[in-house]
Structure 1
C-alpha cells in the first residue's frame, strides 16, 4: 500500500455521503471508486468526490486495481450478502455499516465470515465516537465506582426518507430495534463490560408513517419503545426510544450510576434540524454528580464545526474513520469487531421478540469473550 489509502465505497445514500465527506477530511486518503445503482445517489456522490471512478456493479468495483479498503453503506438488507461476495472475491479491509445482518436465520452466515474472512472488518457503530459519549465511556467506571445502572434515552425525529423507502419495512431494515437501536445495545455492552442475559421490551408503532402508502402497503416500523436488559455481571440497562420527539433539546441522554455517583452525557441532534429562530444549537455536555460531596459538575464538550458540517453524528464518523485508517495501514486492530456487531443485532432481535410476545427473552452470549470497557 502507498502512503495514500484508496477507498472503494459501496452505497452512497445519506450515510454513504457522510462517509465520503469525512474520509476527505483525513490526510493521505482518496476516494478511488464508488458503486451505487441509483442514478441520483451516484450523481450526488460524484459531486462530493469528483475524482472517483464510478462503477455499475460491485463486481466491477472489485476489479479496480489499487484499492486498499472498502466501506459498505448500502441498505441494511444488502450488508451480509455484499460481505459474502467480497469475501469470495477480494477480501480487503472493510468498514461495514450497522446492522451487519437483519434476520435470526442469517446468524450462521455472519459467523462464517467472522471466522474465515482474510482481512480486518470494522462495524460502523458511530455512537461510540461522539465526543460527549466517548468522554462518558472513558470516565463512567471512575465516576460511578462500578456501573450498576445504565439509562439511555433517544428522543428524536422520525426515520428519514431513503431510496425506495427501504427503511419503512421490517423485512428490509431488520426492524427498529435492530436498525436504530443496535447502536444503543452496543453502548450497553461497552459501558457495562458484560454480555446480556435477559431482554424485556414493550414497543410499537404509534404515530409515524401511518398515513404513508407504498404500493398497497403501509410501513410497519416501530416508532417508540422501552427495553430493559439484565447483564451477566449484575448490571442492568434501560433504553427509552421515541421517534416523534424532535422538539427535544437533547437527542441522546445517557446516564450511568453506581455506588460512588452518577455520570451523564447530553447530546443534541443534527444541527441542520435545529430551528434557526432558537439561535445557536446546544453544545453537548458531560455531567458528573458524585454522592459525596453532592452537586453536579457540568462540562461542555464542543465539537469542531467542520466535523459537524460533515455529517449528522456529532463528529463521530470522522473519529471512527481516523481509527479505521490506522487499521488499514496495519497499525491497529478493529475496535468494533464483527462479533460486536453481531451481539448488538442479537440484542435487538431479542427486544423485538419480547415486545411481540410479551415475554422476557433469555440470551446466552457469554460464550464469546466479554466486551472490553472503553479506555479511560
Structure 2
C-alpha cells in the first residue's frame, strides 16, 4: 500500500513516522501547502513526490490509499473532492466536520463512497485503553458508569494558528473531545440520548492576539451523557493541568466491580529531572473479594518515539491497512465519526445555553 498524504503538520508527521514502521506500506506523494512543513515532510520521506493539489495527488498512479491530516474545517470538502475524482481507501483525522449544517453532506458521502473510510480515533488503540475496553465487560459485569478525566497541556501551536478559534476547529469539545465521546459510545454499545455540559475559557490563550482577535477556544469542561442502555458517562477536561502525573484517567464501574486505566502524556513533555516517565497502568477492583489488582501496560519504546499518542497511531494504521487491502473491517466508520462530532456539538450547545440537549428527532441522526 502506498499512501498519499494530505497535510503534514504536527499530526501528519506523526503519521509519517508510524507509516514507516508498517510492513508493506510507504508514502508515494505528499500535499502540504506550508513551505516549512513541506520541507520537513520531504526530508522525512525523501522518496515521496511533493504535489500542489488533491487532483495532482490523485493523479499519482502509485497512490493506493490516502491519509487526511489537514486542519479540521477542510476535512469534509476534501473527502468530497476525493470522491468526485478517484475514491480510494481513506484514513481521515478527526473531527469529520465542524459545521452542524454539514450532516446532510456527510450522509450523502456515506451513502455513495465505494471504498473504506476509517475515522482516526487514536485513543481506542492506546494499549492501556485497549486493555480496559477488552476487559471491562467481565471486570464490571456490564458498565453502568464511565468516567473519563483528561488533565493536560494547552493546545499546541499549529500552522497559521488555526486551532485557536472555534470557527476552524468546531470548538474544543469537538476538536479535542470527540475522542472521548467515541470511547463512551463504544463502551455503551449504543447511542446517546441526552447531553448536559458546563465549560468555557478560563486560563489559556487569553493574552494572545491574532490579527486583532483573541482566541475563543475553551480550556475546561464537564460533560454528562445519558445512553439508550441507561449507562451514564462523564467527561472532565482541564487543559491547564500539565503538571499531572497521568494525562488520562478512565474508570468503568458495574455491578461486579471497577476497572481503570491511567495513561501518561507525551514522553517528550515529561521533565528529565524526574527520571523515567510513568508507565501506563490498568487497575481492576472487584467488589467481591475486595482487592485491587494493578497491571503495568508498558508501550514499545519505538512506538512511543514515533508520536505523542502512546503507540496508538501505529496500531491504527495496522488496522486501516488491513481494511484497505480487503483483509479486515473498518473499526471507526463515518457513522461513528458523525456521532463523536454530534456529541461534542451537543455538549457545547448545552454549555452555552445551560439546557440539556436531546438527540431524539434531530435531522440526519444515523441509526
* Count of residues in Structure 1 that have an aligned counterpart in Structure 2: 365
Aligned match of 2:43: 47
Q: Secondary structure at the match of 1:348?
A: helix
Matched, 1:270 2:269: no
Matches within 5 A, 1:131-142: 131-142=127-138
The 1-side partners of 2:230 and 2:285 are apart by 22
Q: Secondary structure at the match of 2:262?
A: strand
Deviation at 1:200, TM superposition (A): 0.2
Equivalent of residue 255 in structure 2, options 242, 251, 259? 259
Matched, 1:347 2:330: no
Aligned match of 2:298: 302
The 2-side partners of 1:83 and 1:289 are apart by 44
Aligned match of 1:241: 237
Unaligned runs of 5+ in 1: 370-376
Matched, 1:149 2:145: yes
Deviating above 6 A after TM superposition, structure 1's stretches of 4 or more consecutive aligned residues are: none
In the TM superposition, what whole-angstrom CA distance separates every residue of 1:96-131 from its partner, at most 9, and x where no partner exists?
000000011111111111111111100000000000
Matches within 5 A, 1:198-213: 198-213=194-209
Aligned match of 2:93: 97
Deviation at 1:74, TM superposition (A): 0.2
In the TM superposition, what whole-angstrom CA distance separates every residue of 1:232-288 from its partner, at most 9, and x where no partner exists?
000000000000000000000000000000000100000000000100000000000
Deviation at 1:66, TM superposition (A): 2.2
The 2-side partners of 1:297 and 1:368 are apart by 40
Aligned match of 1:292: 288
Equivalent of residue 128 in structure 1, options 118, 124, 128? 124
Q: Secondary structure at the match of 2:87?
A: coil
Q: Secondary structure at the match of 1:47?
A: helix
Q: TM-score, normalised by structure 1?
A: 0.96
Deviation at 1:368, TM superposition (A): 3.9
Q: Secondary structure at the match of 1:327?
A: helix
Equivalent of residue 21 in structure 2, options 17, 25, 33? 25
The 2-side partners of 1:368 and 1:178 are apart by 18
Moved more, 197-206 or 358-367: 358-367
Deviation at 1:193, TM superposition (A): 0.9
Aligned match of 1:176: 172
Q: Secondary structure at the match of 1:257?
A: strand
Deviation at 1:30, TM superposition (A): 1.4
Equivalent of residue 33 in structure 2, options 30, 37, 40? 37
Deviation at 1:59, TM superposition (A): 1.4
Q: Secondary structure at the match of 2:290?
A: coil
The 1-side partners of 2:44 and 2:241 are apart by 31
Deviation at 1:47, TM superposition (A): 1.3
The 1-side partners of 2:357 and 2:51 are apart by 44
Aligned match of 2:156: 160
Q: TM-score, normalised by structure 2?
A: 0.98
The 1-side partners of 2:242 and 2:174 are apart by 21
Cα RMSD after superposing both structures = 1.0
Aligned match of 2:320: 324
Q: Secondary structure at the match of 1:37?
A: coil
Q: Secondary structure at the match of 2:30?
A: strand
Q: Secondary structure at the match of 2:304?
A: helix
